[in-house]
Amino acid sequence: MSTQPLAGLGEFELIERIMSRLGSVAARDILVPPGDDAAAWLVPAGAVVATTDALVEGVHWRSGEHATMGWADVGWRAVASNVSDIAAMGATPQHVLVVLTVGPALDLEALDALIDGVSEACTAHEVHVAGGDIVRGGETSVSMTVIGSATADASGEGGDVPLLRRDRAREGDVVAVSGWPGASGAGLALIEAGRADEPEHAALVAAHRRPHARVALGRAALAAGVRCGIDVSDGVLQDAGHIAERSGVGVEIDLEALPVHPRAVAALGVDGARDLALGGGEDYELVLVGTEDALRALDTPEVPVTLIGRVVAAHPGDAWALDATGARYVPTRAGWDQLRS
């Protein structure tokens, strides 16, 4: 467990092993592929959209005997969580840069699995690895940067590049969410309870270990004229709160309108499932704010988009959940704030 089985491999051997294992996911056809001082690729005039996010062993996941996920899941999630931030702008993710900090728990088998997870998530999200860095450390972590692009509006508003922004909610807009928020939190609760292998919970466990970023939905929302959105990384209430704060409006979420996963209700009860939707983390669904017509048109059988609330003038800067009587409802489980112990 605490040996350092990668110590015998040098930095360059490890990079070669990783690049070879990434296969077609390595960005080999760009202007300057991985292996130079920096990667380079051609872009048309428009906007570069970039985000960065890290997963740390023991904070974002546990390995070993009471593991919350396998190494391949860690690799997958690192990609999906970053791609989700680009999806939440309505932009197109393209290239990934990876910093891998190799701690004692990461042996060669674990490294290979982690890279396989990165590779599978890159394939699923249509992005390529353009570069990275590998360093030694006392704990394993994966930092990623995803860089994408957005192009000028076809309607030609003077070279404007439209994006989904947090500060674009206006009084009278409605609020929608994709998928089943809280599913990831329910999956984690089942994993922690030692029930991850029960077949009826597979969808919830997969929501935690293998989330899919909503890239196509973000782009479709932008094309439909929606200009405000965020991804759900800290629970619907906290993330809708960011929109309220940045837009200077109030947001109201109807508790009973929340699309909770039927399996989450079965496992945790309707109150538990709703609290996880409001305050659980890491769903990577999108909260979208716009006109009712635009949002309704985004709903599909594969990725449901459900209206859950509205933008109001009251309580500016805050998102409130309201129960069936119209009273403010405060979930038991608060949003995920990584730095508070």
Determine the Cα–Cα distance for residues 135 and 141; give it in Å rounded to an integer. 10
Q: How far apart are CA 80 and CA 136, in angstroms?
A: 24
Please, what is the minimum distance in Å from the beta carbon of residue 311 to a copy of itself? 17
Nearer to a copy of itself, 4 or 300 (CB): 4
108 is a site residue for a copy of itself (CB under 8 A):
no
From the list 75, 131, 179, 331, which residue makes contact with a copy of itself (rule: CB under 8 A)?
131
- Quick one: which segment of 69-77, 134-142, 192-200, 267-275 binds a copy of itself (CB under 8 A)? 134-142
Using CB under 8 A as the binding rule, whether residue 217 contacts a copy of itself is answered as no
Residues between 52 and 81 with contacts to a copy of itself, criterion CB under 8 A? 52-54, 56, 58-60
Minimal distance in Å, beta carbon 323 to a copy of itself?
A: 27
Other CB atoms within 10 A of residue 307 CB = 17
User: Pick from 16, 23, 126, 135: which binds a copy of itself (CB under 8 A)?
Assistant: 135
Is 18 buried (19+), middle (13-18) or exposed (0-12) by CB count in 10 A? Answer: buried
**Shortest gap between Cβ of 46 and a copy of itself (angstroms)?**
7
* Whole-number Å distance between alpha carbons of 285 and 2: 37
Residue 266 or 334: the one with the smaller Cβ distance to a copy of itself is 334
Residue of 1, 2, 29, 37 that binds a copy of itself (CB under 8 A):
37
Rounded CA separation 176/250 (Å): 15
Count of other CB atoms within 10 angstroms of residue 3: 9
Residues 293-332 that bind a copy of itself (CB under 8 A): none
- Asked whether position 19 contacts a copy of itself by CB under 8 A, the answer is no
User: HEC string of 299-328?
Assistant: CCCCCCEEEEEEEECCCCCCEEEECCCCCE
Q: Which is nearer to a copy of itself, 188 or 243 (CB)?
A: 243
Question: What residues have CB less than 8 Å from 102, skipping those under 6 apart?
Answer: 6, 14, 111, 134, 135, 136, 137, 140
46 binds a copy of itself (CB under 8 A): yes
* Nearest distance from C-beta of residue 273 to a copy of itself, angstroms: 25
Torsions phi, psi for 130 (to 5 deg): -100, -10
Can you tell me the distance from the alpha carbon of 133 to that of 143, in angstroms, rounded to the nearest whole number? 10
216 interacts with a copy of itself by CB under 8 A: no
